Amino acid sequence: MSGILEGKRVLITGVLMESSIAFHTAKLAQEQGAEIILTAFPRPTLTERIAKKLPKPTKVIELDVTNDEHLGRLEEVVGQELGGLDGVVHSIGFAPQDALGGNFLNTPFESVATAMHVSAFSLKSLTMACLPLMQNGGSVVGLTFDAQYAWPQYDWMGPAKAALEATSRYMARELGKQNIRCNLISAGPIGSMAAKSIPGFGELASVWDSRSPLEWDLKDPEPAGRGVVALLSDWFPKTTGEIIHVDGGLHAIGA
């Protein structure tokens, strides 16, 4: 029996650790029949080591989504490797340390601008760089952390994720005519490298212990990875501009 991504070609960003949602997305995508290519920054060698743990070998290319030169050569490099693309996974987020950890009111604009550029605007930049490779349409899937709420310690990553969510909706509006779907997975907290960079992450994550209807495991990124793979597949052919929650149901619970 073939997988739900059989014949699909997918570019996946953000594979930094085996514990990341991006790694499990890559693993599941291969298991479901996709050919994949990974991007990495600032340490491609780290991603190359992690990639050896995937079911099949895959190429890793350096990509800084804030670098126009890197974005400009993406079409050629990916085209040579895969011939085209059917899916793109945006698993990129960064904020300087002074934009996290309870410093919201004192963060300088320069740090806010960096967080917005890397975490939100890059969804547009990455998608546009890949657009010439998606001649037959396709699916763009990003990762967010529910921006409806103000979370403890998350500070300017909250507004950055809100911008990411709005950007995805506008991308869906603009690219629908080209049969390209743009959706997000809103995942619960995972003990990834990104999480470890947030001071006081444990306080934020502890909310799930008391409020999540389904038991939530900080060490299990596979449910979110399954959500990404599902949105990459043809099983959501008319879903775009959507945010699918894979958070144990916490988003639906008031208290």
- The backbone region for 107, taken as left when phi is positive above 0, alpha when psi lies in -120 to 50, beta otherwise, is beta
**Predicted TM-score (pTM) of this structure:** 0.95
- Looking at the domain assignment, is residue 204 inside a domain? yes
Instruction: Tell me whether strands 60-62 and 87-90 are parallel, antiparallel or unpaired.
Output: unpaired
- Looking at the domain assignment, is residue 89 inside a domain? yes
**149 catalytic per annotation:** no
Taking a C-beta distance cutoff of 8 angstroms, is the pair 64, 58 a contact?
A: no
Give me the amino acid identity at 218.
Answer: L
Catalytic residue among 161, 170, 196, 219: 161
- Count of the separate structural domains present in the chain: 1
- Looking at the domain assignment, is residue 45 inside a domain? yes
Mean pLDDT (10-residue bins), the chain, 255 residues: 92 94 98 98 93 97 97 97 98 95 96 98 98 98 96 94 98 98 96 65 81 93 97 98 97 88
- Looking at the domain assignment, is residue 83 inside a domain? yes
Residue-number span of the structural domain to which 33 is assigned: 7-246
- Looking at the domain assignment, is residue 142 inside a domain? yes
CATH number of residue 52's parent domain: 3.40.50.720
- Specify the pLDDT at position 67: 97
Annotated binding residues for substrate, written as ranges, equal: 95
Taking a C-beta distance cutoff of 8 angstroms, is the pair 25, 89 a contact?
A: yes
Catalytic residue among 8, 149, 154, 238: 154
> What residues pair up with 29 in beta bridges, in sequence order?
none
**161 catalytic per annotation:** yes
- Looking at the domain assignment, is residue 73 inside a domain? yes
- Specify the pLDDT at position 192: 63
- Specify the pLDDT at position 57: 95
- Looking at the domain assignment, is residue 251 inside a domain? no
Q: How far is CA 212 from CA 21, 207, 255, in A?
A: 19, 8, 10
- Looking at the domain assignment, is residue 241 inside a domain? yes
- Specify the pLDDT at position 196: 63
- Specify the pLDDT at position 244: 98
- Specify the pLDDT at position 9: 98
Annotated binding residues for NAD(+), written as ranges, equal: 14, 20-21, 64-65, 92, 161, 190-194
